[in-house]
Amino acid sequence: MNDEPPRAAGRTARTALTAAPALLVTALIVTGCGGGHKGASAGASPAGGKEKLPEATTYTTLDDLPRDEAPSAKSDGTVVHPNDAVPVSAKPGAPAVAELPSTQLKGPTWVPVVESRPGWRRVLLPSRPNGVTGWIPDSGLKSARSSSAVKVDLGDKKLTLSQGGRQVGSWSVAIGAPKTPTPTGRTFMLASLAPAKPTFSPLVLPVGAHSATLDTFGGGPGTVAFHGWPSKSVFGKAVTHGCVRVPADALNKLAKVPLGTPVQITD
């Protein structure tokens, strides 16, 4: 538990993510929090009749796994990274219905732990539906603890960043419009994308949640993200497709937050 997971825009994560295909980066940025195709659902069978487990990524829908029963609960910051793909089950010891890959969006997979039992970890997953969880074996995991916590208060349109229980910043932000709201609940810092030719933001920081109202928008998977915006006039308003637009200072600080760090979004 002494190691800290990679920071969202640290050298390791950013090097890998900058090399991501331009189409993927563009899709996530253009959707800004919009939609895209829905990936395979749990239990889908490929051609040839052999069942293949779907990957638990931002592109997949996993309907055969339990939802987070305590979306407002605080996490202790424990996060895990699978060295290789690991099976995901609905209960400890149950048959696997998906697998969690070791990488997400060209960067390492770090997910927060919400419950532990001997030999097992229950983790939040980056797939649809929002709040989906799964049990993974404790073996073959790298474990760490993030001292950071991110909170978005949709009512006040405020983002707060804390480290070690101490607030280090609070900013007015733009949130989802009434018809395309920012989803509530607990999620986590999923990845960091640095577009080669940035338009409205030098970084896009996806989280493990999706728009609840947009399934297709710009070709992306509907992943919600933190990103910057060139005009300060949007801050304090509900005007986005579901993403959270943040000031430059907030984006710079969020870029240093370790992957897997819990993100709490409240009404």
Distances (CA, A) of 36 to 32, 85, 215, 221: 11, 25, 5, 4
CA angle 196, 201, 206 (to 5 degrees): 90
Indicate which CATH number applies to the domain containing 188.
Answer: 2.40.440.10
166 and 196 in a single domain? The answer is: yes
What one-character DSSP code corresponds to residue 254? H
For the chain, the maximum distance between any two Cα atoms, rounded to a whole number of angstroms, is 55
First to last CA, the chain: 33
User: CATH number, domain at 93?
Assistant: 2.30.30
Domain annotation covers residue 50: no
DSSP β-ladder status, 78-82 and 111-117: antiparallel
Distance CA 127, CA 129 (A): 6
Domain that holds residue 137: 78-145
> 12 lies in a domain?
no
Q: Is residue 34 part of a domain?
A: no
pLDDT tier at 31, thresholds 50, 70, 90: very low
Helix/strand/coil (H/E/C) assignment for every residue in 89-122: ECCCCCCEEEEECCEECCEECCEEEEEEECCEEE
Cα(87)–Cα(177) distance, integer angstroms:
37
**Residue-averaged pLDDT of the chain:** 86
Strands in the chain per DSSP E: 78-82, 86-89, 96-100, 103-104, 107-108, 111-117, 120-124, 133-137, 141-145, 148-153, 158-163, 166-172, 175-176, 185-188, 204-210, 223-227, 238-240, 244-245, 262-266
Q: How many domains does the chain have?
A: 2
Domain membership of residue 29 (yes or no) is no
Answer yes or no: is 233 within a domain. yes
Binning pLDDT at 50, 70 and 90, where does residue 5 land? Answer: confident
Average pLDDT over residues 56-71: 96
Mean local confidence (pLDDT), 54-78: 96
**Residue 51 confidence (pLDDT):** 75
33 catalytic, yes or no? no
Q: What percent of the chain is predicted at pLDDT more than 90?
A: 74
Domain assignment present for residue 49? The answer is no
On the question of pLDDT at 54 being above 50, the answer is yes
Single out the catalytic residue among 81, 210, 227, 241: 227
Domain-terminating residue out of 100, 126, 145: 145
Contact 259, 180 (CB under 8 A): no
Q: Is the pLDDT of residue 38 over 60?
A: no
105 phi and psi, to 5 degrees? 50, 45
CA dihedral 181, 25, 3, 82 (to 10 degrees): 90
Active site residue 241: no
Count of other CB atoms within 10 angstroms of residue 262 = 23
Query: Which range is least confidently modeled, 46-55, 91-100, 138-147?
Result: 46-55
Which residue, 94, 125, 145, sits at the end of a domain?
Answer: 145
User: Which residues have C-beta within 8 Å of that of residue 246, sequence separation ≥ 6?
Assistant: 159, 171, 173, 226, 227, 228, 229, 254
Measured CA to CA, the distance from residue 3 to residue 161 in angstroms comes to: 21
Dihedral of the alpha carbons of 98, 134, 147, 3, in degrees to the nearest 10: -50
Q: Do 260 and 162 reside in the same domain of the chain?
A: yes
